């Protein structure tokens, strides 16, 4: 039972990370109906920004983390403005190819930056994340407690933004019918920029917490977490915020429990995750909470 509880906490922690990243995918898809495959690289950049401010400028960890989130959110807005907005009315394949190009651009930019590079680097982890607590026979690392708490606070703040603010109402209106919302006088470009800002900020928080959980920095560290989080968004219902959260937690729990109770198959964890994706695409492509949406032309 103690092993089960320990693995359950680990799965909940991993699921919290997947949920934070999956939100970015589902926000963009809900409004523009395309998958931003550069989202995993935005997640990766947050860890490098924290590394830059913490080690180069010797800033306190919390201040470096805030600056990393702000800069990463700003990157998301710039990418939308420069790469995606000019193709707003282009065929979907053009946006898909552009997103892949932005992903390669961000990954290779990290490699050539003098303070980053292609070699693996240590991630600055604060002391409260490494502290170990003992509850009965269960040993709990600080990161296992703080990651779900911080993720829950971010997700609750997002739900408040989407369902209780003017910007959130505009996001939901655009997700329903972007043309009619524009005719009613809404500033479509500004709302879409806000969407990328919020999605990139959540990815930045996820990237920083991921670094605390797995303390290493590498230029391709966003690839597999990004694809797994995309799987979580599909499982929960791509385009549905609550569904993306649910999918993230379910996928994280399933992955950890799969490795914990079938250790001889641990090398197949990625096959397991993407096998789940294939099954959902075959039998329930709208996900758990998703609804069929008409294609926007």
Averaged over 134-139, what is the pLDDT? 76
User: What's the pLDDT at 294?
Assistant: 56
Q: What is the DSSP letter of 220?
A: T
CA distances (Å), origin 195, targets 73, 76, 152, 199, 252: 10, 9, 19, 6, 25
Judge whether 200 and 254 are in contact, CB under 8 Å. Answer: no
Q: How confident is the model at residue 92 (pLDDT cuts 50, 70, 90)?
A: confident
Give per-residue pLDDT as tens, 122-132: 999 898 888 88
Sorted by where each starts, the structural domains of the chain and their CATH numbers stand as: 2-283 (1.10.3470)
CA distances (Å), origin 79, targets 62, 98, 117, 208: 26, 10, 22, 20
Give per-residue pLDDT as tens, 193-203: 999 999 999 99
Token couple for 71 = 């800069």
- Mean pLDDT over all residues of the chain? 90
User: What's the pLDDT at 297?
Assistant: 44
Q: What is the DSSP letter of 214?
A: S
Outline where the chain has alpha helix (H): 2-32, 39-51, 61-79, 92-112, 127-130, 142-164, 166-176, 178-183, 188-213, 223-236, 241-261, 269-283
**pTM for the model:** 0.91
Give per-residue pLDDT as tens, 2-42: 778 888 889 999 999 999 999 999 999 988 888 898 999 99
List the one residue out of 194, 193, 191, 210 whose CA is nearest residue 68.
210
Taking the C-alpha atoms of residue 225 and residue 242, their distance in angstroms, rounded to an integer, is 19
User: What's the pLDDT at 296?
Assistant: 47
Taking the C-alpha atoms of residue 24 and residue 246, their distance in angstroms, rounded to an integer, is 14
């Amino acid at each position: 039972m103690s092993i089960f509880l320990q693995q359950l906490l680990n799965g909940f922690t991993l699921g919290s990370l997947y949920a934070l990243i999956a939100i970015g995918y589902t926000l963009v898809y809900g409004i523009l109906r395309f998958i931003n495959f550069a989202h995993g690289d935005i997640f990766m950049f947050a860890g490098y920004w924290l590394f830059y401010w913490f080690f180069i400028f010797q800033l306190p960890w919390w201040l470096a983390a805030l600056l990393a989130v702000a800069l990463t959110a700003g990157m998301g807005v710039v990418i939308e403005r420069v790469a995606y907005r000019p193709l707003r009315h282009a065929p979907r394949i053009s946006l898909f190819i552009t997103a892949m190009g932005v992903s390669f651009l961000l990954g290779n930019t990290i490699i050539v930056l003098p303070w980053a590079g292609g070699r693996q680097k240590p991630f600055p982890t604060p002391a409260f994340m490494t502290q170990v607590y003992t509850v009965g026979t269960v040993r709990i690392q600080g990161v296992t407690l703080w990651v779900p708490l911080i993720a829950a606070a971010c997700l609750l703040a997002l739900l408040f933004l989407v369902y209780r603010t003017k910007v959130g109402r505009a996001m939901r209106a655009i997700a329903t019918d972007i043309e009619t919302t524009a005719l009613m006088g809404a500033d479509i470009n500004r709302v879409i920029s806000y969407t990328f800002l919020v999605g990139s900020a959540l990815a930045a928080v996820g990237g920083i917490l991921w670094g605390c959980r797995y303390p290493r920095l590498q230029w391709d560290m966003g690839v597999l977490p990004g694809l797994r989080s995309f799987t979580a968004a599909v499982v929960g219902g791509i385009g549905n915020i609550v569904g993306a959260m649910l999918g993230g937690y379910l996928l994280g729990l399933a992955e950890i429990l799969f490795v914990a109770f079938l250790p001889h198959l641990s090398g197949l964890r990625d096959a397991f995750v993407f096998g789940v994706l294939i099954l959902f695409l075959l039998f329930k492509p709208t996900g758990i909470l998703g609804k069929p949406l008409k294609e926007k032309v």
